[in-house]
Amino acid sequence: MEPEPLVDTVTLGRAASSTSVGFDEFYLSEMGRLVALARSLAGVAVAEDIAQEAMLVAYRRWREVGALQRPDLWVRRTCANMAVSQFRRRVAELRATTRLTRRRPDATPEPMSERAEEFWDAVRTLPHRQAQAAALRFVYDMPIAEIAETLGCSAGTVKQHLSRARQALSVALDLQDRSD
Amino acid sequence: MDLDELARGATRELLDVTSAGVAQRRTLLDQTRRRRRIGNAAALTALVTLMAGGLLLVTAPPDDRDTRPARPIGEGHGTALVTVNTAGQIHALDGDVAVGVPREVHALSPIDFTSDGTRVMFQAQDGSLRLVDLRTGGSRSLGACAERWCDADLSADGRFVAVGSGGLDSVIEIRPVGEGRIQRLPIAGAAHAPSWSPDGEHLTFTADEGLFLIGKDGRGMRLLWPASGELATGSWSSELMSMTEPASWSPDGSRIAFLATEPWDDDVSAADPIIPVRYTLTVLDLGSGATELSRYVGGCYCLNVSPPAVAWSPDGSLIAVNVVDNGRRDTKGAARNAGVHVVRPDGTGWRQLTTESATWGLAWQPSMG
């Protein structure tokens, strides 16, 4: 492993403190819903891990990410991609297993009602892009244009994903879709 | 109730249960960063100590490599190349699969045969790790794995299974197949992808810093191949992409084949948060440390595409690898066609067997008797 290049410690200190303050505010404002997004797409066992890992990536790159116009969309996209990746979830689940077994009983994830769990289970069975679009819509109440920007696709594609997601969810949950 | 009503209610509940504890999570984030830095520093210190001491775990074996021309698959090898696809179906790409190998297993199952071809290990659909005797059909449990998948490798004689326990502090356990005590290998930091040497005396494993070798007694740990720059930074993306797939040993134990990783782009952009990774099939002589083969086998973000897997044939003449092609063109080399390929250990005779990409499992099934 190559050593990190020497830097001016005073500059680094100033940069680090201002970076840390900006990130802390970002973290506190975003983290709650980020965990919700991760849980909606990947389930309760790995939600905390995935959300934390997305934030870890953001922290490491905060100099660049913090300068983006919408760092919140950046981290939501990171989290959403991590959550639907079967391969990446493999390691996340390994970590989550260890963390869950070490948690105090009062720190275990709170359950939701059966019907709510059923709903999110159905979301997780959707094709990845439909699930991501649906989760972003529900969790953040995002407009179409913002979902499109987050996922890196067109508004038309997002509309298509949402429409198909609604149809599939209605069938899976035996519900009427009043948007028809 | 219609869909919108249910969605609103379910979302309200989801936000209620996930909104608490943000401050504690922030503390955990800092702890995670510090823990990984300490783990990296400890491993580096150990490496420097080993190098300074001039320790060599494996003595150079005599040069007894098979120099005969490679025989075509299916003729005289007496083996089949077996894979597990994303649906959890075991099937042979070439040759016959012995009766008794289940057709469907866990979708993320490893697959591993003993060197005499009489037994096979896999993860069953119920999640348990199992060993099946192909002569009798008898099956025994090798214990549980992490919640969804097994990071496990069966020794060539079928007497032990090495299992990665999972988690940030993942350790590698050595479980006896029969009676006996479970041992843990003393490895600092998370360790994954154990792979037994043919003689059962050593294992390779992957960690943040790269690919390591260790004795089954926990002694003589050394770094065989360092993880590439950006990928050794200790972040989640780097840990994951830093060679999480097991190495494969030559049957004489003198060499290993593995997939070295490096970032796909020279300039990693913040606009693309997931680092895509290039994979290079690499053959390393454990005695001399020489790299005998280095061949690009594709790259991916590995979100919906499985990373490559590698398997050395039982007769030592071929190495099988599934090549990844996520549709991007790599300026450093042409992307290969996706699918399972074979190549001689010296890099000659590259041949594509199938356009289907193997998934978690790629293994040669030795013939019995």
Residues of A in contact with B237 (CB under 8 A): 57
User: Are B147 and A115 a contacting pair at CB < 8 A?
Assistant: no
Mutate to test the interface with B, among A26, A61, A91 (most CBs of B within 10 A): A91
Do A61 and A87 lie in one domain? The reply is: yes
CATH classification of the domain holding A146: 1.10.10.10
In a domain, A148, yes or no: yes
Confidence of residue A109 (pLDDT cuts 50, 70, 90): low
Q: What is the rounded average pLDDT of the residues B242-248?
A: 72
Which of residues B177 and B244 earns the better pLDDT score? Answer: B177
What per-residue string of b and e applies to B246-271 under the rule 16 or more CB within 10 Å gives b? bbbbbbebbbbbbbbbbbbeeebebe
Do A29 and A96 lie in one domain? The reply is: yes
Do A97 and A60 lie in one domain? The reply is: yes
DSSP per residue, A62-128: HHHHTTSS-HHHHHHHHHHHHHH-HHHHHHHHHHHHHHHHHS-GGGSPPP--HHHHHHHHHHHTS-H
Closest Cβ–Cβ partner in A39, A78, A116 for B273 = A78
Residues of A in contact with B25 (CB under 8 A): 31, 35, 48, 51-52
Q: What is the rounded average pLDDT of the residues B73-92?
A: 58
Which of residues B42 and B26 earns the better pLDDT score? Answer: B26
Q: Tokens standing for B332?
A: 């450093």
Domain of residue A74 covers 23-102
> Can you tell me the distance from the alpha carbon of B341 to that of A136, in angstroms, rounded to the nearest whole number?
40
CATH classification of the domain holding A87: 1.10.1740
Separation in Å, CA of A92 to nearest CA in chain B = 8
What pLDDT does residue B34 have?
57
Closest Cβ–Cβ partner in A32, A77, A177 for B273 = A77
Q: What domain count does chain A have?
A: 2
> Can you tell me the distance from the alpha carbon of B33 to that of B103, in angstroms, rounded to the nearest whole number?
43
What pLDDT does residue A21 have?
54
Do A87 and A119 lie in one domain? The reply is: no
Confidence of residue A10 (pLDDT cuts 50, 70, 90): very low
Side by side, the strands of the sheet bearing B129-133 are B111-113, B119-123, B129-133, B139-143
For chain B, give the percent of residues with pLDDT over 90. Answer: 26
User: Are A81 and B167 a contacting pair at CB < 8 A?
Assistant: no
Is 50 exceeded by the pLDDT of residue A2? no
The winner for highest mean pLDDT among A7-16, A48-57, B342-351 is B342-351
Please write the tens of the pLDDT for every residue from B152-175.
899 999 999 999 876 556 789 999
Q: Which residue of B has its CA nearest to A92?
A: B167
Q: How many CA atoms lie within 13 A of A84 on its CB side?
A: 25
Confidence of residue A42 (pLDDT cuts 50, 70, 90): confident
In a domain, A88, yes or no: yes
Please write the tens of the pLDDT for every residue from A18-38.
455 588 889 989 999 999 999
Is 80 exceeded by the pLDDT of residue B92? no
Do A95 and A127 lie in one domain? The reply is: no
Asked which of B124-133, B242-251, B297-306 is least confident by mean pLDDT, the reply is B297-306
The helix/strand count (H/E) of chain B reads as 3, 23
- Look at strands B248-249 and B222-226 and give their pairing: unpaired
> Can you tell me the distance from the alpha carbon of B110 to that of B321, in angstroms, rounded to the nearest whole number?
15
Instruction: Say how many C-beta atoms besides its own lie within 10 A of residue A3's C-beta.
Output: 6
Confidence of residue A15 (pLDDT cuts 50, 70, 90): very low
Q: What is the rounded average pLDDT of the residues A84-100?
A: 51
User: Are A2 and B28 a contacting pair at CB < 8 A?
Assistant: no
Asked which of B97-111, B213-227, B235-249, B260-274 is least confident by mean pLDDT, the reply is B260-274
What pLDDT does residue B271 have?
40
Strand partners, B278: B262, B299
> Can you tell me the distance from the alpha carbon of A1 to that of A160, in angstroms, rounded to the nearest whole number?
46
Do A120 and A142 lie in one domain? The reply is: yes
Is 70 exceeded by the pLDDT of residue A107? no
User: Are A98 and B166 a contacting pair at CB < 8 A?
Assistant: yes
Do A164 and A98 lie in one domain? The reply is: no
Which of residues B107 and B227 earns the better pLDDT score? Answer: B227
Which of residues A2 and B215 earns the better pLDDT score? Answer: B215
> Cβ distance A175 to A169 under 8 Å?
yes
User: Are B3 and A166 a contacting pair at CB < 8 A?
Assistant: yes
Residues of B in contact with A4 (CB under 8 A): none
Is 80 exceeded by the pLDDT of residue A119? yes
| Mean model confidence pLDDT for chain B | 72
Is 90 exceeded by the pLDDT of residue A106? no
In a domain, A121, yes or no: yes
Residues of A in contact with B274 (CB under 8 A): 78, 81-82
Which of A65, A80, A102 delimits the end of a domain?
A102
What pLDDT does residue A100 have?
41
Is 60 exceeded by the pLDDT of residue B302? no
In a domain, A2, yes or no: no
CA B295, B66, B113 angle in degrees (round to 5)?
A: 80
Do A34 and A57 lie in one domain? The reply is: yes
What pLDDT does residue A86 have?
53
What pLDDT does residue A18 have?
44
Which of residues B90 and A125 earns the better pLDDT score? Answer: A125
Separation in Å, CA of A160 to nearest CA in chain B = 17
For chain A, give the percent of residues with pLDDT over 90. Answer: 44
Which of A102, A122, A152 delimits the end of a domain?
A102
Closest Cβ–Cβ partner in A39, A82, A91 for B18 = A39
Tell whether the torsion through CA atoms of B129, B131, B134 and B138 is positive or negative: negative
ipTM higher than 0.85?
no
Do A86 and A47 lie in one domain? The reply is: yes
| Chain A with chain B: Cβ pairs closer than 8 A | 176
Q: What is the rounded average pLDDT of the residues A165-178?
A: 87
Which of A102, A136, A152 delimits the end of a domain?
A102
What pLDDT does residue B60 have?
31
What pLDDT does residue B25 have?
75
Please write the tens of the pLDDT for every residue from B186-240.
887 778 889 999 999 999 998 877 899 999 999 999 999 987 654 444 343 444 4
Residues of B in contact with A51 (CB under 8 A): 25
User: Are B33 and A176 a contacting pair at CB < 8 A?
Assistant: no
Do A76 and A141 lie in one domain? The reply is: no
Q: Tokens standing for B256?
A: 């290993």
Asked which of A5-19, B26-40, B241-255, B335-349 is least confident by mean pLDDT, the reply is A5-19
What pLDDT does residue B244 have?
62
Q: Is B48 helix (H, G, I), strand (E, B) or coil?
A: helix
Do A77 and A127 lie in one domain? The reply is: no
Closest Cβ–Cβ partner in B19, B167, B274 for A99 = B167
Q: Which residue of B has its CA nearest to A73?
A: B271
Separation in Å, CA of A36 to nearest CA in chain B = 6
In a domain, A134, yes or no: yes
Which of residues A96 and A44 earns the better pLDDT score? Answer: A44
Encoded amino acid at B241, one letter: M
> Can you tell me the distance from the alpha carbon of B231 to that of B218, in angstroms, rounded to the nearest whole number?
26
Closest Cβ–Cβ partner in B13, B235, B302 for A112 = B13
In a domain, A15, yes or no: no
Asked which of B66-75, B222-231, B302-311 is least confident by mean pLDDT, the reply is B66-75
User: Are B10 and A139 a contacting pair at CB < 8 A?
Assistant: no
In a domain, A10, yes or no: no
Residue A34: alpha-carbon gap to chain centroid: 5
Residues of A in contact with B22 (CB under 8 A): 27-28, 31-32
> Can you tell me the distance from the alpha carbon of A148 to that of A150, in angstroms, rounded to the nearest whole number?
5
Residues of A in contact with B229 (CB under 8 A): 2
Do A92 and A124 lie in one domain? The reply is: no
- Look at strands B361-366 and B111-113 and give their pairing: unpaired
Which of residues B294 and B58 earns the better pLDDT score? Answer: B294
In a domain, A107, yes or no: no
